[in-house]
Structure formats: C-alpha cells, structure tokens
A and B are shown apart, each in its own frame.
Chain A
C-alpha cells in the first residue's frame, strides 16, 4: 500500500525521455515572447504586469548593486510559480517535489550571495555572525550558533520547498483515495471528505504560490545582507 502512494513522485520515461524534462520545459510555452507590436495580446499584457509587480516587490529593499540580480530572481520566481501550479493538474509531474532539484536551485544561489558578500565587504559579512548588543560571555557560543544557522540556510531553502509540495500532494492523494473508497459504503461521510478535499485543493494552490515567493524572498534577503 505504501508503494502506491509515493509512486506519483517517480518520473517514468517514455522512449528514453523522462517526464521531468517535459515538466521543466513546458512552462516556457505558456509565456509568450513580446513581439514588435504596439498593442499586444491579453496574455502578454498580463505577463508584463505580473513581471513588473514581482520585480518591483523584490528589488525595492535592494540598492543599485543588487539590481543586477533582477533577471535571475524574477525568472526563478516565475519558473517556480508555474512549475508548482502546473503540478496540481491531474497526471502531471512536479519537479520541485524532488529534493535534488530544490537543493540544486538553492545551494548555488545561496553560495553566490555568500561569496559576493565575502568578496566585496568581508568584515561586514562576517559581522553579521554576531548580533549587536550581545553580552560578552555569550559571544563564542553565539558565533558558533550563527555560523551553523548560516551554513544550514541552503538546506532549509531546498527542504522547505520540497517538503511543502510533497506533503500537499500526498495529502491530496490520501484524501481522494478516502473519498473514493467511502463512496460505496457511506456516501454522507464521502461528501464530507469531498468538501475537505475541495478546501485542501484551494490550500495547495495557495501553498504552491507562497512557497515560490518565500524561496525567492529569502534569497533576496540573503542578498541584502551581503551586497
């Protein structure tokens, strides 16, 4: 029984191409490239509005040096948003449920922020390891704690994304299985479970969007400290 519930996270291949490859490249088809027209389509207008909103929101706390990161952070946000939301459609595969992908996104970007800080302003970056106003006897312990907290950031970023999405997908599968099984014996309870499933799906849509936003927001925060 356990084997069947985790099967949704495997990526079967047909003709040698794993499904994860398609699910990662499909979001590119949903974003139209702006042509050289004055009046664009509704989809292009929506996309432009959304990208402007995201970029303004992310770049406001950063100064001019941080604006170099605008492209990568905005595109990461759009990618994660689309990939998470597409995974809620039936029979589709969500690549961010794989820890390998989340860590592959989190680790290099976090390391880039850290190295930027250490290269350009090493003493300020190291200074973040000790909050202001700590009592002197606590300093060694606090430095070690802050270093651990710094080093665990990429792991936390990746695992947060994967765990939230995986848990959501598993819950949806469990509750829908319960609904189907109960339908023949106790229809009233099955209807209640269906209501719970409906609410859970709304929650999952929200979680998909929030997790993408949190991932990119935390990266911009780490950048803010180090730039």
Chain B
C-alpha cells in the first residue's frame, strides 16, 4: 500500500475513532495489513482477517482461551457479519476493546454474552457460557447441578426485574453496582494484568 493511501485511510479512521490518536491508528493499520499480508501469503486472496486468524490473535495477544467467547468477540468485531474483520472494524473494535468507556464496554460485553442476539441473556445462554467454569467433581450425582446453581446465583444477583432473564438494563444496573460483573460470563476483554 502506498503512503498516500495509508495517510488517507489513517485520517478517515482517526476522525471516527474516539480513543486512539492518529499515530496509534496509523500503527494499528500497519499492524492490520501485516497480519492480513501473512494470511494472503498463505491462502491467496483474502479481504480481511477471517475468524481463525482473529481468534489466533485473541489467543496469542490477549490470552483468551474460551472458544465460544472468542467466537462471540469475533462477531462483536465483525459488525457487517461478512466473516471477516475489515481494517475499519479492526481499528474501531480495538478502540473499544482496549480503551472503551464503561458504557461502551457494557454494551459490547452484553452483545458478546447475548448469544442469540435477542436482547436478553437467558438462563440457557448463561448455562452454556458457564458450563465449563466449575471443576467437575466425580462425587456429585448431577455434574451440571453446580452450574445450574451458579446460574441461579448470577440471576439472583443481576436480574433486577425478576423475569428470569437478563435484559441490558438489568445487566447495566448490576455492573454499575459492581464493576467486576462486567465480564460476568467469561473474559471477553483484555486481561487487566497485562
């Protein structure tokens, strides 16, 4: 890519990006094309970062391990649902991912956790997301009992309108009370320890 085109792209993206300055955007664009370049070399033509490449980045750079959550994060980035993260999706996504305000992050996380996209996190979705969160104890009769209980605990904690599922407002209220619940159903943001 020539310098002029890069410059132009940087300018456009910086204009709409809240949390990065021009220099950072520039770097991210370069990084993006480096990453895409690697894939192009391997697979021929490609119009962006595909699911696997992106998951790889999430895993290697941000230490994420949960497949399902990583898929959901990919969907969060891939706004147009074309199966690829474009350069603008990359920059905007990272802007929120790394520097987002609490509001932005809540919105993003809720979308990640709302697996079917119906605007609610249902018990089933919670169960699905939490099912690997407990050490299986062979002594227990029903191995899922602990998970179910955990779902109930979460619901009790977060479901303010008591309708048995989490709406965004339930979620928002709970997180504002206790920030730790932002990633209640699995790590979908960079780990703060880094």
A and B assemble together: no
